[in-house]
Amino acid sequence: MRLLLASTSPARRALLDGLGIPYTAEAPGVEEDLPAGTAVDAAVRMLALRKARAVAARHPGVLVLGADQLAEVDGQVLGKPGSREAARAQLASLLGRSHRLLTAVALVGGGDEQLELDVVTLRFHPVSPEELERYLDTGEWRGCAGGYRIERRGQALVDALDGDRTSVQGLPMLPVVRMLRARGFPVL
């Protein structure tokens, strides 16, 4: 049984590497547009499934793991900021307060699909404009929902975290292991 990660994210690969199981990784190459008005939990589920299905279609007979992540604060959905200015605005909306980070993970293959959603609540420190600019200088905001990366310098933004830290890093390992075990994939 082969496992393929539908992602080229270094953070997701590092988490999966931590299990010590064999897998390969491939970019899903899908559009991330969604119908207007899609609820954040439905949106993140749709994107994780879309990524896993796209890669599974290219590799029949392989288990494909796909994931996606969105942040939400006050009903506003925050995806990956496209510019430093967008990252500044996203982070400014999160500083000194709490927000939710939703990560969906899908396992597709063998005629079956599994999907789980993990939700983490984070509270960020209020930081000075100078500190915010120093964080933006790191470039960690690129490719990250909400504009931060917890596995590096972004952890200095976090005042409190309620949930699974691996979920914040992009791949909630508790659901991943649960889904792989349910499929009979050897995880130990």
Of 155, 121, 165, nearest in space to 135 by CA: 155
Q: Annotated catalytic, 118?
A: no
CATH of 3-182, one of 3.30.360.10, 3.40.50.1950, 1.10.4080.10, 3.90.950.10: 3.90.950.10
- pTM of the full predicted structure? 0.94
Tell me if 103 sits within 8 A of 44, measured CB to CB. yes
Domain ranges of the chain: 3-182
Q: Report CA dihedral (138, 142, 147, 148) to the nearest 10 degrees.
A: -50
Whether the pLDDT of residue 32 is over 90: the answer is no
* Backbone dihedral angles phi then psi of residue 180, each to the nearest 5 degrees: -65, -45
The pLDDT of 34-41, averaged and rounded, is 91
The pLDDT of 16-24, averaged and rounded, is 96
> pLDDT for 140-181, tens place per residue?
999 999 999 999 999 999 999 999 999 999 999 999 999 999
Catalytic residue among 17, 68, 74, 137: 68
